[in-house]
Amino acid sequence: MIGFQTLFYKEILRFWKVATQTLTAPIVTAMLYLLIFGHVLESRVQVYPGVGYTAFLIPGLVMMSVLQNAFANSSSSLIQSKITGNLVFVLLPPLSHWELFSAYVLAAVVRGFAVGAGVFVITAWFAHLSFVAPWWILIFALLGSAMLGTMGLIAGIWAEKFDQLAAFQNFLIMPATFLSGVFYSIHSLPPFWQAVSHANPFFYMIDGFRYGFFGQSDVNPLLSVTIVAGFFVALATIAIRMLKSGYKLRH
């Protein structure tokens, strides 16, 4: 476990050394979303009975921050190591593919949780939030950040330059996040777009996470956790096989 612990510690230090960029900036961005959308729509939109729009929005922003930063951590670490050429120092030690996978994904989870906690602490002052099912909050935050950390690992292995990684993030991660119900309930959409939303795994992470606060959701949380866990297992299998084969890493 020494190799895993060392790599994990290195990944934590990597984002902690530039905390202004990796932690503070996402919190400020989420705060701006809350101020703009909350101010404009608070008196115009009520998604759940007895829940104001600002209160509805806060869990979505927290989870969005968790997901985006978990992805950013593992993907940026690998692509930077490739570009600078120091990836060889990670590959030379006798680390198994399981240790590599666990260290990168766990560090992504830590960063996602750190940013999510910061966003929650700052935004919770703007609305009264209840914790109807706190275990669901923790489960979806953990599964979501692990899933996005795994996606970041896959993207970092596949990409050979920053442009490719940016395309992966801009054309897949960002649209899937913003179309997952962070700012709205899918029941407000036309039937076609509701069907599209149900095909988006990010929707189930956001919806299940929000259920933990209000006890209300668009989909049964048991269905949501099953779908998210299934996607995580599938992505983890792909990532581990890529690490085991050395795809785009050992040549």
User: Mind listing the pLDDT tens digit for each residue in 98-111?
Assistant: 999 999 999 999 99
pLDDT tens figures, 183-203: 887 877 788 888 888 899 999
Burial degree of 171 (CB within 10 A; 0-12, 13-18, 19+): exposed
Spatial separation of the C-alpha atoms in residues 92 and 212, rounded to whole Å: 44
CA distance 131 to 136: 10
Spatial contact of 54 and 127, defined as CB atoms under 8 Å apart? yes
DSSP H or E segment with residue 99: helix 97-123
pLDDT, tens digit, 9 for 90 and up, residues 87-136: 888 888 889 999 999 999 999 999 999 999 999 999 888 888 888 899 99
Per-position DSSP letters for 3-24, written without gaps between them:
HHHHHHHHHHHHHHTTHIIIII
